[in-house]
Amino acid sequence: MPYEGEKASRLGHVETVKNEAVKAALQRWTIASARPSGKASISELCLPLGELPLVGNIDEVDFSITVDGSDTEVDTTRDHPTVKVGYLRVAGSVVRLDVFRQLSRVKHIDPREVRKSHSEYAFDVALPGSQLTRPGMSGVETWRTELEDFLHNSRFDSSTEMTLADGLLALHGTRGNAATSINLRVCPACGQKANAKFTLAAGKEGGSCPSCHARLYLADILRTHEEYNVEGSNFTPLGRVMTVAERLMSICYLNFFADTAPEVLQHTLFITDGPLALFGPLAPLKRRFEEHLGDLSTWCLKRDLVAPLVVGIEKSGAFVEHAELIKDLIPPGHVMRLTNAYINKISGRPENNHYGVDEFYGRRFIYRTRTGDPLVITVLPAAGLSPYDGGSPEVEGWEAYPTLRLICEILDSLRTRMYQHAVVPIALAHSAAALPLGVGRSVLTMMAQQNIPGLKPDLQAVQPPTYFKG
């Protein structure tokens, strides 16, 4: 690593370019996700939307609820560049789809009508980065405590008292009967592992480790403290918090409607920005989402409700990139199913790899809309099925995803040309959740300087907007 201000020689790359071993290595490689040479391997996985099983009616789905989040981490001052603060915003956006259908039939759209069809709600939080502690606590203890407060103080909607902590307990319970406590695998304080004779659990008021008597938190089930970095960036655990907050917000909406107005579930599409999956320390929660949403699906079927209509939409990543490469091989209005064999091939995984078993509670598809652009979506399987269980014919078949056709038809009516791979509800939710770069980031840096005791405002640590010359 160079010293600050030290620059490399302008000819420092020459020896690397001349190195024959480096050239040979580059020439040995191929791109796993490259466009296939023939159309057959794609065609056999595609089906016209009209041939898919259909449940429900697009005209009966009148609302969409989209959840999106944004996170950023800022350095506090030039004198303390390793002292960092994380900011997080999560927003829920409600769109009246019936209004959009009417607007699609007029030549000139009134922006005021668009605004009337959309409402949003967002909550914000600051989380401690490295070297920030509460008095008498370590950095990781401070992180755990602040995260616990965040879960208990963040309501999923301004009109209810239900918090993300309530959503987490509901996730670990059964339909209409939330859990009162959640079992932990390991004590965050002493590292003692739970077993048949040694139980670790935390409820809404927390808990206590029987071994070291340390305080246990409901937030410990998320295990983000395992990735907390005492000396560097905590952008990774901050991103985990954003992901789980988005998913819990959706769970809160689903349970709220199931408890108060079940028929609303049939009329609402729930959209998540990103795949229906959880990664890293959050991955064990995948099974809870799978079981909880499966229970809700069974509950809805008993009441003749076509629900829940849940979809994840990806805006970027390896699968979106691959979808763009092969889009002309998928006819418009067709859905492509991604089998385990195909996924392993385009991602460079072993042939017998069991993709997605531990992370996904929905299954990926590529849908080429009627206007011609591809959408990478994740859809829930039928109740009782796991979307990835090693590639069994049942979960890779079309019949295992009864809501797939209806969801694709709805998304067709919500496309926007403002952004690539975008639909209107996600664009609106992102607008509500986004934390701006440039001036906005500078303001967040200044906010940390002005409010954290011991830090002095440092204008030089605040980056000027790019349109200023100096």
pLDDT digits (tens, 9 = 90+) for 355-388: 999 999 999 999 999 989 999 999 999 999 999 9
Percentage of the chain beyond pLDDT 90 is: 67
Q: Apex CA 252: angle with CA 246 and CA 256, to 5°?
A: 155
pLDDT confidence bin for 77, thresholds 50/70/90: confident
pLDDT recorded at residue 82: 82
pLDDT recorded at residue 152: 96
Please check the confidence at residue 214 and state whether its pLDDT lies above 90: yes
Percentage of the chain beyond pLDDT 70 is: 90
pLDDT recorded at residue 367: 97
Compute the distance between CA of residue 295 and CA of residue 178 in angstroms, rounded to an integer.
Answer: 13
Structure tokens at 381: 């399987």
Please check the confidence at residue 202 and state whether its pLDDT lies above 80: yes
Of the ranges 30-34, 322-326, 395-399, 434-438, which one carries the lowest mean pLDDT score? Answer: 434-438
Structure tokens at 468: 């200023």
pLDDT confidence bin for 464, thresholds 50/70/90: very low
pLDDT recorded at residue 162: 93
Q: Please choose, from the candidates 240, 229, 191, the residue with its C-alpha nearest in 3D space to the C-alpha of residue 88.
A: 240
Of the ranges 36-40, 214-218, 234-238, 453-457, which one carries the lowest mean pLDDT score? Answer: 453-457
pLDDT confidence bin for 106, thresholds 50/70/90: low
When pLDDT is averaged across residues 206-232 and rounded to a whole number, the result is: 96
Provide the residue count of the chain.
470
User: Which tens digit of pLDDT belongs to each residue from 314-341?
Assistant: 999 999 999 999 999 999 999 999 999 9
Taking all residues of the chain, what is their mean pLDDT, rounded to a whole number?
88
pLDDT recorded at residue 466: 45
Compute the distance between CA of residue 305 and CA of residue 267 in angstroms, rounded to an integer.
Answer: 9
pLDDT recorded at residue 5: 75
Q: What is the value of pTM for the model shown? A: 0.88
Peptide bond into 308 cis (omega under 30): yes
Q: Which residues contact 89 (CB under 8 A, 6 or more apart)?
A: 69, 70, 71, 122, 123, 124, 433, 434, 435
Higher confidence at residue 464 or residue 137? Answer: 137
Q: Which residues of 310-324 are buried (b: 16+ CB within 10 A; e: fewer)?
A: bbbbbbeeebbebbb
3-state secondary structure string across the chain: CCCCCCCCCCCCCHHHHHCHHHHHHHHHCCCCCCCCCCCHHHHCCEEEHHHCCCCCCHHHCCEEEEEEEEEEEEECCCCCCCCEEEEEEEEEEEEEHHHHHHHCCCCCCCHHHHHHCEEEEEEEEEEECCCCCCCCCCHHHHHHHHHHHHHHHCECCCCCCCEHHHHHHHHCCECCECCCEEECCECCCCCCECECCECCEEECCEEECCCCCCEECHHHHHCHHHHCCCCCCCHHHHHHHHHHHHHHHHHHHHHHHHHHCCHHHHCEEEEEECCCECCHHHCCHHHHHHHHHHHHHHHHHCCCCCCCEEEEEECCCHHHHHHHHHHHHCCCCEEEECCHHHHHHHHCCCCCCCCCCCCECCEEEEEECCCCCEEEEEECCCCCCCCCCCCCHHHHCHHHCCCHHHHHHHHHCCECCCCCCCEHHHHHHHHHHCCCCCHHHHHHHHHHHHHCCCCCCCHHHCCCCCCCCC
Higher confidence at residue 3 or residue 54? Answer: 54
How many other C-beta atoms can be found within 10 angstroms of the C-beta atom of residue 162? 17
pLDDT recorded at residue 428: 81
Compute the distance between CA of residue 323 and CA of residue 282 in angstroms, rounded to an integer.
Answer: 27
Termini Cα distance of the chain: 29
Higher confidence at residue 427 or residue 337? Answer: 337
User: Which tens digit of pLDDT belongs to each residue from 108-165?
Assistant: 556 666 666 778 888 899 999 999 999 999 999 999 999 999 999 999 887 888 999 9
pLDDT recorded at residue 108: 58
Q: Apex CA 332: angle with CA 390 and CA 40, to 5°?
A: 55
pLDDT recorded at residue 445: 74
pLDDT confidence bin for 457, thresholds 50/70/90: low
pLDDT confidence bin for 462, thresholds 50/70/90: very low
When pLDDT is averaged across residues 432-454 and rounded to a whole number, the result is: 71
Contact in structure between 416 and 103 (CB atoms under 8 Å):
no
